[in-house]
Amino acid sequence: MQKKFNRYIKWVLFLGFCITTAFILIHTVINSSYQISDFVAEKSSTKPSFCKNDNAAKEQRWQTMEQEVASWGDALGRGIDHEIKNTVIVLNLLGFRTEQSCQGHIDWGLSYPWISFNTQDEEINVLHNKRNDIFKLIDEKESEIQKKYPDLSLGEALRKEQSEELTALYQQNRQLNDTIDKLSKLKLVPLNNLITEFYKKRPIDRDKMLAFQVLDRIYSLGGNWQITRSDNERLKKLKEYQEEMKLFTNFLICCYFEKQD
């Protein structure tokens, strides 16, 4: 009787072990499948989960622009940096033509992400051509004056000659520069407004804050101070600036998908 009872106990324990093991395996498989499906869903969508308004046509335009951006590169044949690629895609989809970009690097280039823009159009190109013609005239007049006073520097020669014609050319050049700069910036006003809107919804850190700066580039205000920092500080700040650009990119993506066609 005792032997039968012992065999019964062993059988019950073995059965319990099998049931427990099976339960653990099933739970693991189900949990893994959810993780995989979440991963696939995340990878298959360009839109952050908090964005509204599913739009298949905009998804298609995104994919088309993504393929186009993948073919872009610099003079050395390097493509768009991975960490800045979505920023470039969404800016172009919103109508802001990018010209150059960089995700930021510690070992070369600038240690903060930045983007510049192409604001050229037919009107601006005409003004550029006019300015180039004026440059040539200025160069010719300055050369003539320099030949008259070979013993003087160009600055001294110009002060001595006091050419009204050259003064008028300088003025025309300044006016053209101002007009070109104004027309270029007017194209970027809507993007500057989006930057303002982005910071209305979150705390402002002046170091990380994105803004238009030199050469109409967008980058964090603190980026200009990276050169003064130690390697460890620069790396830490680079990651912070990249995260700020990523948050702004997600904001722009939502603007793109939620904007009415």
Residue 127 pLDDT grade (very low, low, confident, very high; cuts 50, 70, 90): very high
DSSP 33-72: HHHHHHHHHHHH--S-TT-----HHHHHHHHHHHHHHHT-
pTM for the structure as a whole: 0.75
Q: What is the mean pLDDT of the chain?
A: 84
Q: Is the pLDDT of residue 224 over 70?
A: yes
pLDDT digits (tens, 9 = 90+) for 162-196: 889 999 999 999 999 999 999 999 999 999 999 99
Of the given ranges (20-24, 47-51, 145-149, 209-213), which has the lowest mean pLDDT?
A: 20-24
Q: Could you tell me how many residues make up the chain?
A: 261
Mean pLDDT of 71-98: 92
Q: What is the pLDDT of residue 36?
A: 35
Q: Which residue has the tokens 């998804």?
A: 59
Which tens digit of pLDDT belongs to each residue from 9-65? 556 455 555 555 554 554 443 444 434 334 333 444 556 666 766 788 999 999 999
- Please report, for residues 17, 20, 34, 36, the alpha-carbon distance to residue 27 in angstroms, rounded to integers and kept in the order given: 15, 11, 11, 14
Tracing tokens 């010719």 back to the chain, one arrives at 140
Question: What confidence score (pLDDT) does residue 30 get?
Answer: 40
pLDDT for residue 105 is more than 70: yes
